[in-house]
């Protein structure tokens, strides 16, 4: 039988973005296979990429628009036509808009399909409608800490993986790289062959830890203290990089005691405040003041009186801040010997060191504190923007530079004003009718590219919140925890069933040609949005064909400069757009950063909470790295910080880790992968198990005041005592009873609203 082969890019949220071949026979995808890459190191495909065929033809694949026929979640459906679905949704949306305003329609998305025709194009619809965006609030602590400190470069927050090969030390810090980033780990393996030392900082003895030169078991939720203590040691032992501090960071900027802002020309009456000419001032050894261009050898330390302003250098403030975190004091909090902390600091500063920061620390209510603290360490030791030194692993996102001009497509001129609200705050806001001091009414919620009820924290709270919502619409490829709860389900096409393009690793644009027709009546998000947009009376704005859309998106100077256009891409299949001279370390190269000051900002003069819901915060404290214990996951009174209230009743921490066999809940019904890993299992340290009479294979109930889950248990001495670990990505039907997302809390820090999955105290008992 003849076989045709098209190309595609795998683009769940594992961040691998592997290009692949899609093999088709008689109108059916029969297999996927690896596609050669211009840079051989990037040729790759994994067990999930090889099983797309079983996702496309999965039993839980949605094929027709459905209307709920029973109670929400009951699983009773009536098949309807697309016309009926669109008519019902749009007429209700028009009614809500009339009665409650545009903001009463909300939408939320995340990890399903990052390509332009899915997430960005759907945003165009809701932006034009003036709808409320629900920020999914996954990973916000990670991104806030890194982006606020070193900015958002075209490569997002990291370097090309090849930079790992030049590292002497690789810090896998809160990162489960062998499972959650095995495509990155391949480079770490190579780097180790070349002599790099791997340091793993993790509460649990992970697979990566078993390969490490140094494993540092840390007490959960204390990483910011370790980073600040390492910085303390680096400063004390003069291991910091004065050149980077002076030229590439805010270290020499003079912070006014009065308002915490940097001293500028306007403070001396020499420029209009906030005008372009209002430059930040530096001081040299002779006491001369001037701009960064004028003062080439600024002082990094000192407190001065300048025309009535008492100022101190930002570096002195940082030094003062980490003063209390002596290795001895940090040892108590982090449960790591003081000598190990000193050793870690010396290695980090010696370099070249690459930080592979994971999302473990992100998943606590105090998560962002780690990323601010560790980025201060990175900057002060100058371990960024150089061969072998920088950020990598999950921080690497070369594909985000996708050469497309989409800002105006997503947000055409004239879009009404809209609110963005953070998911963990939504259930309570719906209950009270207020988001901060703003009124909030949501009558309809549209979820796509996200399995909200599988992946948000505190599922029971969400289920209750949904009772306030009259029309819940879900567009998804599969019948999952979320689509099951919808009032109307729209069947989305798998991406190999659509004509699209994506940037694969590292800088290869791939034409993802439609390999087969969408299954049943499924449609790509692009087509769904065009239908809904027209239904809302915006035929003009939603009349583009896919070809026209992509041609327009790639018709720009950035794309032209690298020889990329939609037509060329369709003709060639894939185009390697990165130039050979493109450096493999983009972030911080040449001492410049894409931040407002163009410098690494370990001091934040305009610090403010990400979600401004009127909560009070201490500006002086938050402007620099700081730490407080996690909200629930604080089981001891180490360092004099009293044990959390929740831990009085629930003395274990409930966490999860990514398994190799799925990306979040995607692939979770895939028969080949289920053969390898068939059910959720909670691992428990033998000491914790013994106390509760639990043995491997027992069925156990994990519970707290919010909910419970019943699963099989396995004893594992690799767990840190006190920590339970379950694989991430299972859904309601996979658990014996309950749901693991019923356990987690929606609480997060005032500064960054984030889903804190691991900041969760529980108890476990044999059933």
Ligand X SMILES: Nc1nc2c(c(=O)[nH]1)N[C@H]1C(S)=C(S)[C@@H](COP(=O)(O)OP(=O)(O)OC[C@H]3O[C@@H](n4cnc5c(=O)[nH]c(N)nc54)[C@H](O)[C@@H]3O)O[C@H]1N2
Which residue from 12, 112, 120, 388 is in contact with ligand SF4, where contact means CB under 6 A? 12
* Integer Cα distance of 199 and 213 in angstroms: 6
User: Closest CB to Mo ion among 108 and 595?
Assistant: 108
Q: For tokens 């620390």, name the residue.
A: 361
* Residue 492 binds ligand X, judged by CB under 6 A: yes
Residues within window 178-197 making contact with ligand SF4, judged by CB under 6 A:
183
Distances, alpha carbon 300 to alpha carbons 234, 253, 422, 517, in Å: 15, 8, 38, 63
Strand 708-715 and strand 303-306: the pairing is unpaired
Of 518, 510, 672, nearest to 46 by C-alpha is 672
Closest approach, Cβ 161 to ligand SF4, in A, equals 13
User: Closest CB to ligand X among 148 and 362?
Assistant: 362
* Residue 10 binds ligand SF4, judged by CB under 6 A: yes
Q: DSSP labels for 678-712?
A: -S-EEEE-HHHHHHTT--TT-EEEEE-SS-EEEEE
Distances, alpha carbon 295 to alpha carbons 243, 247, 280, 288, 519, in Å: 14, 10, 11, 8, 65
Closest approach, Cβ 168 to Mo ion, in A, equals 29
How many Å separate Cα 59 from the centre of its chain?
Answer: 30
Question: Nearest residue by C-beta to ligand X?
Answer: 360
* Integer Cα distance of 634 and 765 in angstroms: 20
Residues within window 180-209 making contact with ligand X, judged by CB under 6 A:
180-181, 201-204, 206
Closest approach, Cβ 476 to ligand X, in A, equals 5
Closest approach, Cβ 36 to ligand SF4, in A, equals 15
Question: Which of the listed partners (ligand SF4, ligand X, Mo ion, none) does 18 bind, with a CB threshold of 5 to 8 Å by partner kind?
Answer: ligand SF4
Determine phi and psi for 740, rounding to 5 degrees. -65, -25
Backbone Cα Rg of the chain = 26
Strand 19-25 and strand 28-34: the pairing is antiparallel
Task: Find the Cα–Cα–Cα–Cα dihedral 400, 401, 404, 410, rounded to 10°.
Answer: 40
* Residue 397 binds Mo ion, judged by CB under 5 A: no
Which helix (H) or strand (E) is 348 found in, with range? helix 338-350
Sign of the dihedral defined by the CA atoms of residues 592, 596, 599, 601, in that order:
negative
User: Closest CB to Mo ion among 481 and 601?
Assistant: 481
Determine phi and psi for 763, rounding to 5 degrees. -125, 155
DSSP designation for 312: E
User: Closest CB to ligand X among 14 and 379?
Assistant: 14
User: Closest CB to ligand X among 218 and 564?
Assistant: 218
* Integer Cα distance of 633 and 304 in angstroms: 42
Closest approach, Cβ 9 to ligand SF4, in A, equals 8
* Residue 92 binds ligand SF4, judged by CB under 6 A: no
Of 5, 31, 4, 32, nearest to 18 by C-alpha is 32
Binding region for ligand X (CB under 6 A) out of 64-72, 175-183, 231-239, 561-569: 175-183
Convert residues 301-340 into a mask of x (bound to Mo ion by CB under 5 A) and - (unbound).
----------------------------------------
User: Closest CB to ligand X among 315 and 758?
Assistant: 758
Closest approach, Cβ 37 to ligand X, in A, equals 20
Binding region for ligand SF4 (CB under 6 A) out of 14-22, 193-201, 319-327, 615-623: 14-22
User: Closest CB to ligand X among 385 and 738?
Assistant: 738
Closest approach, Cβ 716 to Mo ion, in A, equals 24
Of 301, 270, 266, nearest to 283 by C-alpha is 301
For helices 338-350 and 223-236, angle between their N-to-C axes, nearest 10 degrees: 70
Which residue from 6, 7, 42, 48 is in contact with ligand SF4, where contact means CB under 6 A? 48
Question: Which of the listed partners (ligand SF4, ligand X, Mo ion, none) does 665 bind, with a CB threshold of 5 to 8 Å by partner kind?
Answer: ligand X
* Residue 688 binds ligand X, judged by CB under 6 A: no
Question: Which of the listed partners (ligand X, Mo ion, ligand SF4, none) does 358 bind, with a CB threshold of 5 to 8 Å by partner kind?
Answer: ligand X
* Integer Cα distance of 454 and 60 in angstroms: 15
Q: Tell me the helix, strand and coil percentages in the chain, rounded to 5.
A: 35, 20, 45
Point out which residues pair with 107 in neighbouring strands.
133, 446
Closest approach, Cβ 329 to ligand X, in A, equals 18
Query: For residues 354 and 390, is the Cβ–Cβ distance under 8 A?
Result: yes
User: Closest CB to ligand X among 262 and 511?
Assistant: 511
Closest approach, Cβ 495 to ligand SF4, in A, equals 11
Closest approach, Cβ 139 to Mo ion, in A, equals 4
Question: Which of the listed partners (ligand SF4, Mo ion, ligand X, none) does 17 bind, with a CB threshold of 5 to 8 Å by partner kind?
Answer: ligand SF4
Which residue from 8, 17, 591, 653 is in contact with ligand SF4, where contact means CB under 6 A? 17
Q: Which tokens go with 217?
A: 């078991």
Which helix (H) or strand (E) is 463 found in, with range? helix 459-466
Give ∠ CA 422-119-135 in degrees, rounded to 5: 5
* Residue 440 binds ligand SF4, judged by CB under 6 A: no
Of 421, 751, 436, nearest to 606 by C-alpha is 751
Closest approach, Cβ 662 to ligand X, in A, equals 6
Q: For tokens 């601010």, name the residue.
A: 372
288-291 own/partner pairs: CB under 8 Å, 24+ apart: 291/265
Closest approach, Cβ 142 to ligand X, in A, equals 7
396 SS3 class: strand
591 SS3 class: helix
Closest approach, Cβ 381 to ligand X, in A, equals 19
Question: Which of the listed partners (ligand SF4, ligand X, Mo ion, none) does 45 bind, with a CB threshold of 5 to 8 Å by partner kind?
Answer: ligand SF4
Distances, alpha carbon 243 to alpha carbons 237, 239, 299, 735, in Å: 16, 12, 11, 55
Give ∠ CA 41-44-49 in degrees, rounded to 5: 165
Convert residues 651-670 into a mask of x (bound to ligand SF4 by CB under 6 A) and - (unbound).
------------x-------
Which residue from 17, 166, 728, 746 is in contact with ligand X, where contact means CB under 6 A? 728
* Residue 654 binds ligand X, judged by CB under 6 A: no
Convert residues 676-715 into a mask of x (bound to Mo ion by CB under 5 A) and - (unbound).
----------------------------------------
* Residue 400 binds ligand SF4, judged by CB under 6 A: no
Of 136, 152, 275, 162, nearest to 578 by C-alpha is 162
* Residue 49 binds ligand SF4, judged by CB under 6 A: yes
**How many angstroms separate the first and last alpha carbons of the chain?**
54
* Residue 139 binds Mo ion, judged by CB under 5 A: yes
* Residue 478 binds ligand X, judged by CB under 6 A: yes
* Residue 394 binds ligand X, judged by CB under 6 A: yes
User: Closest CB to ligand X among 11 and 443?
Assistant: 11
Residues within window 12-41 making contact with ligand X, judged by CB under 6 A:
12-15
* Residue 427 binds ligand X, judged by CB under 6 A: no
Of 538, 540, 542, nearest to 528 by C-alpha is 542
User: Which residues here bind Mo ion, judged by CB under 5 A?
Assistant: 138-139
Q: Which residues bind ligand SF4 (CB under 6 A)?
A: 10, 12, 14, 16-18, 45-46, 48-49, 183, 663
Residues that bind ligand X (CB under 6 A): 12-15, 110-113, 118, 138-139, 173-176, 179-181, 201-204, 206, 218, 220-221, 223, 358-361, 363, 394, 448-451, 454-455, 475-478, 480, 492, 495, 525, 655-658, 660, 662-666, 728-729, 740-741, 757-758
């Amino acid at each position: 039988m003849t076989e045709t082969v098209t190309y595609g890019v795998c683009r769940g949220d594992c961040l691998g973005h592997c290009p692949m071949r899609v093999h088709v026979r008689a109108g059916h995808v029969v297999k996927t296979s690896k596609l050669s890459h211009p840079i051989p190191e990037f040729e790759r495909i994994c067990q999930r990429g090889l099983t797309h065929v079983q996702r496309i033809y999965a039993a839980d694949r949605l094929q027709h628009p459905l209307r709920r026929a029973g109670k929400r979640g009951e699983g009773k459906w009536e098949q309807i036509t697309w016309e009926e679905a669109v008519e019902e949704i749009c007429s209700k949306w028009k009614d809500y808009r009339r009665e409650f305003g545009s903001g009463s329609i909300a939408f939320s998305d995340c990890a399903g399909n990052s390509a332009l025709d899915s997430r960005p194009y759907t945003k165009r619809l809701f932006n034009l409608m003036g709808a409320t965006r629900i920020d999914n609030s996954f990973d916000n602590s990670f991104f806030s800490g890194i982006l606020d400190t070193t900015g958002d470069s075209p490569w997002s927050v990291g370097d090309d993986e090849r930079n790992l090969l030049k590292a002497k030390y690789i810090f896998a810090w809160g990162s489960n790289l062998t499972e959650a980033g095995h495509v990155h780990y391949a480079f770490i393996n190579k780097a180790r062959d070349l002599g790099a030392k791997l340091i793993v900082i993790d509460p649990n003895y992970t697979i990566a830890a078993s390969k490490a030169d140094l494993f540092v078991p840390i007490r959960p939720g204390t990483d910011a203290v370790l980073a600040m203590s390492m910085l303390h040691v680096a400063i004390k032992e003069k291991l910091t990089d004065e050149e980077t501090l002076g030229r590439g960071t805010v270290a020499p900027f003079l912070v006014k005691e009065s308002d915490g802002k940097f001293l500028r020309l306007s403070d001396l009456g020499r420029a209009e405040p906030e005008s372009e000419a209002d430059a930040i001032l530096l001081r040299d050894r002779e006491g001369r003041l001037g701009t960064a261009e004028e003062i080439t050898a600024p002082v990094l330390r000192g407190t001065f009186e300048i025309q009535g302003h008492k100022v101190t250098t930002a570096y002195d403030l940082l030094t003062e801040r980490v003063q209390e975190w002596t290795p001895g004091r940090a040892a108590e909090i982090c449960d790591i010997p003081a000598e190990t902390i000193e050793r870690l600091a010396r290695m980090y500063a010696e370099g070249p060191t690459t930080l592979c920061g994971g999302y473990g620390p992100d998943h606590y209510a105090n998560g962002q504190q780690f990323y601010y603290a560790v980025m201060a360490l990175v900057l002060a030791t100058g371990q960024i923007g150089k061969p072998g030194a920088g950020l990598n692993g999950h921080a690497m996102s070369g594909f985000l530079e996708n050469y497309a001009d989409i800002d105006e497509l997503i947000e055409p001129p004239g879009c009404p004003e809209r609110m963005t609200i953070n998911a963990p705050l939504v259930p309570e806001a719906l209950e009270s009718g207020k988001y901060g001091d703003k009124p909030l009414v949501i009558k309809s919620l549209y979820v796509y590219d996200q399995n909200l009820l599988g992946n948000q924290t505190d599922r029971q709270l969400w289920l209750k919140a949904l009772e306030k919502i009259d029309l819940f619409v879900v567009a998804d490829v599969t019948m999952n925890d979320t689509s099951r709860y919808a009032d109307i389900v729209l069947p989305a096409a798998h991406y190999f069933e659509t004509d699209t393009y994506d940037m694969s690793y590292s800088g290869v644009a791939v034409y993802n040609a439609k390999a087969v027709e969408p299954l049943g009546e499924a449609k790509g998000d692009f087509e769904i949005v065009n239908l809904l947009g027209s239904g809302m009376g915006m035929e003009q704005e939603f009349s583009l064909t896919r070809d026209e859309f992509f041609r327009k998106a790639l018709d720009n100077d950035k794309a032209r400069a690298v020889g990329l256009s939609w037509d060329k891409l369709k003709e060639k299949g894939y185009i390697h757009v990165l130039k050979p001279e493109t450096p493999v370390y983009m972030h911080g190269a040449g001492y410049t950063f894409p931040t407002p000051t163009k410098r690494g900002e370990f001091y934040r003069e305009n610090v403010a909470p990400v979600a401004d819901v009127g909560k009070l915060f201490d500006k002086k404290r938050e402007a620099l790295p700081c730490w407080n214990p996690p909200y629930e996951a604080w089981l001891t009174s180490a360092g004099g910080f009293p044990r959390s209230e929740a831990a009085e009743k629930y003395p274990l921490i409930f966490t999860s880790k990514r398994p190799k066999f799925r990306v979040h809940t995607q692939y979770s019904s895939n028969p080949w992968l289920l053969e390898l890993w068939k059910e959720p299992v909670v691992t428990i340290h033998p000491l914790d198990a013994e106390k509760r009479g639990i043995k491997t294979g027992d069925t156990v109930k994990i519970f707290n005041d919010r909910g419970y889950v019943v699963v099989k248990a396995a004893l594992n001495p690799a767990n840190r005592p006190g920590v339970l670990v379950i694989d991430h990505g299972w859904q309601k039907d996979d658990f014996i009873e309950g749901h693991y997302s019923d356990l987690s809390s929606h609480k997060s820090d005032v500064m960054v609203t984030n889903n804190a999955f691991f900041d969760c105290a529980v108890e476990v008992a044999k059933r």
